[in-house]
Amino acid sequence: MANQKVLTPEQVKQRFKQRGITVKTWAEENGFRTNAVYRVLNGIDKAYYGKGHKIAVALGLKAEQSATAAA
């Protein structure tokens, strides 16, 4: 499995700033609701499963787990 560097929410927000994109833009480009992305970034949604988890993986907040790692 590839080594993925997991980022903190602050690092994700800083990368958005550096790249000149907003959370809304990122959410729309990746097919997520803006409110859901903010909930994950601000720790309201713990992103253990479901859509929140998918958002966290896409943002780089969590490493993507393979099916064999979960077994």
Tell me the pLDDT tens digit for each residue of 5-45.
Answer: 899 999 999 999 999 999 999 999 999 999 999 999 999 99
**Dist. CA 56–CA 71, nearest whole Å:** 21
Q: Taking the model in full, what pTM does it have? A: 0.83
Structure tokens at 22: 């907003």
Q: Given pLDDT bands bounded at 50, 70 and 90, which one contains residue 69? A: low
Q: Are 64 and 57 in contact (CB under 8 A)?
A: yes
Buried b / exposed e across 16-54, counting CB within 10 Å, b at 16+?
A: beeeeeebeebbeeeebeeebbebbbeeebebeeeebbb
Q: Domain segments of the chain: what residues?
A: 9-62
Which phi-psi region, left, alpha or beta, contains residue 6 (left: φ > 0; alpha: ψ -120 to 50)?
beta
